[in-house]
Structure 1
Amino acid sequence: MVPVSGGELAVLRWPGADPGAPVVLALHGITANGLTWARVAHHLAGRVTLVAPDLRGRGRSGKLPGPYGIAAHADDMAAVVGALDLGRVVLTGHSMGAFTAALTAVRHPDLLSGLLLVDGGVAFPAPTHLAPDELLTAVLGPAMRRLSMTFPDRGAYRAFWQQHPAFAHNWSPWVDAYIQRDLVGEEPEWRSSCRIEAVRTDGTDQLGEEVSGAVHRLPRPAVLLWAERGLMNEPQGLYDEQWLASAGLDPELVRTRLVPGTNHYSIVVGDDGARAVARQLLAAAGLAETES
């Protein structure tokens, strides 16, 4: 537990085999938690220390009060680096975590030794006629609807996620641990730890110019890994080559790489995706890209 404004932030750590190993600070998505990164940690295999917070309003940090918003998360990350004396870190984020990583880089450039964005961080096409809640539901689907649901037991929550098209062929002990970490309460009314006001604030904030434009103001070069398929495993992902080409990215500042065969979730929780992310993190840390 790390002190931040308003309370304490829960932080997971997979220590490196070498006490002097580089540090990766990894940020999860809008309705996720730090165990998003467990399979990536498996493929990193102790070559770096991986630190993954439950962001404010999620997981074991679910009781932290606002203010929420991407800037608040960015400042929380600076507090984590300072409290744990991490020094300069390779910063990475998935989905909303990628937008948070980009803004953290802009607000706290001295923290970084490298930057990796995973299926996020660059504004993506979104309907302009929807209210913020409607847009979040349209984009996030079951992930958003579950915030107001209750579940009679842990098995019911597992079954809910096993029916999700993005997880149907990617289920594993890592995924199970990740989704179970989200539950709070007790039988027969388990519910998601995500505070809906945090999700609403962060989701709306992500659409604003300060956050969506951070990728154009990065203090150092970054890599964006993007998934071939979408949140529901649909053929159209959040990004494609045409959209990225039209996004106005500086090719000297942001290099983009497709991770074939992955969807928005499996790019971090699936085996192939996690391996690709781990390889890129090792490269960002100055270590050889090796098979894991």
Structure 2
Amino acid sequence: MPVEGGELAVEVAGGGRRAVLAVHGLTGNCRLWNWLRAEAPEIALVMPDLRGRAGSYRVAGRSSVRRHAEDLVRVLDALELDVVAVCGMSMGGFVAVELATRWPGRVRGLVLVDGGLPMAVPAGLTPDALPAAFAPQLERVSRRWADVDEYLAYFLHSNPLLDPRDPLLRDCLEHDLDDGRVLLGREAVLADATDVFFGEHRWRALATPTELVCAEWSAGADTPPAYSAEALAEFREALPVLGRPRRIAGTDHAGTVMTRAGAAVVGAALHDVLLRVR
């Protein structure tokens, strides 16, 4: 799909006019939604690779949450989709909120998956410290991988609860690779991370039905979650359109969408949003 700076790669699964625009996270790609497709094949999905990632790696221009939302409006226009539900994971949740608040007529409902609402900034994190904070995620860019198995072994160090035998995971990681290199723009990741942690948050302007799915942990068992119980209670009080948050027990951030159990909860939330806005 044509966007400013190049062409955005987009995969479409299923049919029908009641499509769901599915937006991946900071270092992900469109195959993040493999598990949702497996758990809810009846849902029509529009799945872009955001600029600076995978099939959209070579799209030129600075990345930002606002720019991603603008790109997605172009995608909807190209597909002649006037209004859609939007599902965003992690940073993709912030893009979904940006889209729903700046172009409210294009979004009929939201499902936010461990993202989209302000997260507590880790102690000591500043914009200047982001390169060090994201060094493990960005290390993959500087290396040439012998094959997907070597890349998978590295990926599991940061995502220990995922199943290394899962063919859906293997397919997702293969989509990152081109001749042994990971198609992930370092500057795009850092610019988008700056937006997520230190940028303007428009969530208070949400006026569309919204569901929130969140993990029990952040990265591995017993790690603090992205959203505490206290934060969730505050969001519900401040945001009338927000339904009761769904906490997925026994999962961390990645497992909210990269496991069948997590994807089943996300699929149920999407069905609830679609029913609420008929």
TM-score in terms of structure 1 length: 0.87
Once the two structures are overlaid, the 10-residue window that deviates more, 20-29 or 243-252, is 243-252
- In the other structure, the counterpart of 1:215 is 203
- CA-to-partner distance for each residue in 1:18-68, whole Å, 9 max, x for gaps? xx35200000000000000011011112x2210110001001000001121
* Structure 1 unpaired stretches of 5+: 288-292
Cα gap change, 1:75/1:205 in structure 2, threshold over 3 Å: closer, same or farther?
Answer: same
Match of 2:233 among 245, 254, 265: 245
- In the other structure, the counterpart of 2:68 is 73
Q: What is the distance in 2 between the residues matched to 1:195 and 1:240?
A: 31
- In the other structure, the counterpart of 1:179 is 173
Q: What is the distance in 2 between the residues matched to 1:251 and 1:29?
A: 23
- The answer to whether the 8 A contact 1:228-1:237 is kept is yes
Residue 264 of structure 2 corresponds to residue 275 of structure 1: yes
Q: Provide runs of 4+ in structure 1 moved above 6 Å.
A: none
Q: Which amino acid aligns with 2:262?
A: G
Q: What is the distance in 2 between the residues matched to 1:247 and 1:284?
A: 18
Cα gap change, 1:233/1:83 in structure 2, threshold over 3 Å: closer, same or farther?
Answer: farther
- The answer to whether the 8 A contact 1:23-1:51 is kept is yes
TM-score in terms of structure 2 length: 0.91
- The answer to whether the 8 A contact 1:24-1:48 is kept is yes
Cα gap change, 1:128/1:275 in structure 2, threshold over 3 Å: closer, same or farther?
Answer: same
- CA-to-partner distance for each residue in 1:108-130, whole Å, 9 max, x for gaps? 11111111100001111123533
- Give the percent of matched residue pairs that are identical in Structure 1 and Structure 2: 33
The CA deviation at 1:265 is 0.5
Q: Which amino acid aligns with 1:207?
A: F
The CA deviation at 1:242 is 1.8
Residue 58 of structure 2 corresponds to residue 63 of structure 1: yes
Q: What is the distance in 1 between the residues matched to 2:22 and 2:162?
A: 25
* Structure 2 unpaired stretches of 5+: none
Q: What is the distance in 1 between the residues matched to 2:64 and 2:156?
A: 30
- In the other structure, the counterpart of 1:30 is 26
Q: Which amino acid aligns with 2:115?
A: G
Match of 1:143 among 137, 151, 155: 137
- In the other structure, the counterpart of 2:111 is 116
Match of 2:87 among 92, 107, 123: 92
- In the other structure, the counterpart of 1:4 is 3
CA RMSD of aligned residues (A): 2.1
Q: What is the distance in 1 between the residues matched to 2:120 and 2:149?
A: 36
- In the other structure, the counterpart of 2:13 is 14
- The answer to whether the 8 A contact 2:52-2:184 is kept is yes
The CA deviation at 1:145 is 2.9
- In the other structure, the counterpart of 1:290 is none
User: How many pairs align?
Assistant: 275
- The answer to whether the 8 A contact 1:137-1:144 is kept is no
- In the other structure, the counterpart of 1:266 is 255
- The answer to whether the 8 A contact 1:170-1:266 is kept is no
- The answer to whether the 8 A contact 1:44-1:282 is kept is no
Q: What is the distance in 1 between the residues matched to 2:155 and 2:260?
A: 18
The CA deviation at 1:183 is 1.1
- CA-to-partner distance for each residue in 1:56-111, whole Å, 9 max, x for gaps? 10010000011210000000010000001122101110000001100111111111
Cα gap change, 1:97/1:249 in structure 2, threshold over 3 Å: closer, same or farther?
Answer: farther
SS, match of residue 129 in structure 1:
coil
- In the other structure, the counterpart of 1:152 is 146
- In the other structure, the counterpart of 2:195 is 205
Match of 2:212 among 221, 224, 234: 224
Once the two structures are overlaid, the 10-residue window that deviates more, 26-35 or 228-237, is 228-237
- The answer to whether the 8 A contact 2:148-2:170 is kept is no
Cα gap change, 1:220/1:33 in structure 2, threshold over 3 Å: closer, same or farther?
Answer: same
Residue 114 of structure 2 corresponds to residue 126 of structure 1: no
